[in-house]
Structure 1
Amino acid sequence: MPQELGFDSGMTCRRRLRDWNEAGVRQRLHEALLAELHAAGALDRPRAVIDGSHVRTMKGGPQPGRARSTVPGQAPSTI
């Protein structure tokens, strides 16, 4: 967050977000938003997307394979 706009330092923001997350604030805000959207008829649950960052697997998910490089390799030599 830019300090020029009156925000605290980035470290302060990270600490506050961490503290709020540990205190359950993010979860309560998420639930309150969902309840408000549902009450307004603006939540289409069948079309909702489950994001892995919000749903924990109980026994852990599958281990990802080795990440493929997105950097192009060297062009083959034409000599």
Structure 2
Amino acid sequence: MTTRPWVVDDDLWALIEPLRPPWPTRSPGPRPVDDRLCLQDILYVLHQDVAWQLLPLELGVGSGLTCWRRLDR
């Protein structure tokens, strides 16, 4: 995986992080993807106007469905 600059810088993340809902402690399934990384990819999809299914795997989350579910949550 290649590193990429944060679109959501540390100052902006400090404002956003307290607003996100807490993750359930006993959530079924695999460990959740980092919220900050997921937000970056949500912003990518919205900015590039691409379908969730076309989110490039190189961005690091794994799938557009993961980001879509996180946005829905």
TM-score (norm 2): 0.27
Q: Which has the larger radius of gyration?
A: 1
| Higher normalized helix content (fraction of residues) | 2
TM-score by length of 1: 0.25
